[in-house]
Structure 1
Amino acid sequence: MRKTTIVTEARQTGDVLLLHTERLDVEAAGLRPRGHVLVDSDGFAFLYILETEQDFVYLSMPEAVWPQLKQALAGKQPVWADVNGVRMELEHLQEELAYLVENIEGNANYGDEFVSRVEAVFLA
């Protein structure tokens, strides 16, 4: 089964970008980073995949936190998530996000509005 939790805040904590999420009805201690990022072009978000033995959880990173993600990419800072009080590193987020931004640039397959919003934040 697939579930989604939305990042509500991105905060610099030392040399790490920490993403705080809304409450999730999954045992967070059992979540594992999958290392893959998808695009939700209709919802204007990037989705990092977490998993448990039974569930996939999409960690939705909406446009509101893109400036902080851009800074983390530029500074090669690790990005962690706090889900229900459990912190975990989002492995391979840097590489996946950089690849997607490069692929989205000028690519109308993602929808013109999504492309222009990504370009405005990540490529400005």
Structure 2
Amino acid sequence: MNKRIEVIEAAEREGKLLLYAEKYDGHADRLEAKGQILADSDQLAFIYILEDPEHFTYVSISPDYWQHLEHARQNSVSVWAVINEEELELLSFHEELTELVQNISGNANYGDEMEGRVSGIFAG
């Protein structure tokens, strides 16, 4: 069964953007970054996919943290998830985010609210 965890805090430290996730009920040390980001227009979130041998875990990033993502993207700051005190680099984050932002901008298929929020924060 797939799991979803929400980002609850973001901070830039030591040249990294750290996205702190809520408590995870699995083995965080077994998670691996998939290098893929999806849009969840129903929940207004970006979803970074992690996996372990048994399931996928979706790291949900709400608009509350998108300014942090854009700052990291514009400044080439690596993005990491902190899950149960384990740090995991989110591979290909900037490339995936840039592609997704370009797809969403001006595209009504993602819904007006998602498109508007993305266009308002990300430079494209």
TM-score where L is the length of structure 1: 0.97
Matched, 1:99 2:120: no
Aligned residue type for 1:18: L
Which stretches in structure 1 are left out of the alignment for 5+ residues?
A: none
1: distance between equivalents of 2:7 and 2:109? Answer: 25
Which stretches in structure 2 are left out of the alignment for 5+ residues?
A: none
1:5 — aligned with what?
Answer: 5
2: distance between equivalents of 1:33 and 1:123? Answer: 25
Residue identity over aligned pairs, in percent, reads 43
> What secondary structure sits across from 1:4 in the alignment?
strand
1: distance between equivalents of 2:113 and 2:65? Answer: 17
1: distance between equivalents of 2:24 and 2:88? Answer: 15
1:112 — aligned with what?
Answer: 112
Matched, 1:73 2:73: yes
1: distance between equivalents of 2:87 and 2:16? Answer: 12
1:14 deviates by 1.7
Tell me how large the CA RMSD over aligned residues is. Answer: 1.0
2: distance between equivalents of 1:20 and 1:80? Answer: 9
TM-score where L is the length of structure 2: 0.97
> What secondary structure sits across from 1:24 in the alignment?
coil
Structure 1 runs (4+) greater than 3 angstroms displaced = none
- 1:57-80 deviation per Cα after TM superposition (whole angstroms, max 9, x unaligned): 000011000000000000011001
1:123 deviates by 3.0
